[in-house]
Amino acid sequence: MRVVYTIIKVVILLIVILFAALNIQSVEVRYFIGRDPIPMPLFVVIVLSFLLGMGVFWLLSIKRNLKKFIETNKLKSEINKLNDELKSIKSAPIGKVDKK
């Protein structure tokens, strides 16, 4: 499954790079209100915007991944407890049952 995700990521990255390479004209970017605009190639703006979007997505996904990690550890701990209980039950001596 990771191979599929990697292929999808590479294809998306190639599309963004191709799109950026086709847009080489210069644009003026205003980072702060009241400041002079900074001229830079459009492909730089596109690539930086894409990377910024990926960074924001990564930061937002950390919370979900952390929750999954914590839940996985809790479940593994519970499995270990249940396995220990099962071992103790299996190793308990079984006495004879009197039939009356």
How many Å apart are CA 12 and CA 19, to the nearest integer?
Answer: 11
How many Å apart are CA 27 and CA 36, to the nearest integer?
Answer: 13
Model pLDDT for residues 11-60, shown as the tens digit of each residue: 988 887 888 778 888 888 887 788 888 898 888 888 888 889 989 999 98
Taking the whole predicted model, whether its pTM rises above 0.75 is answered as no
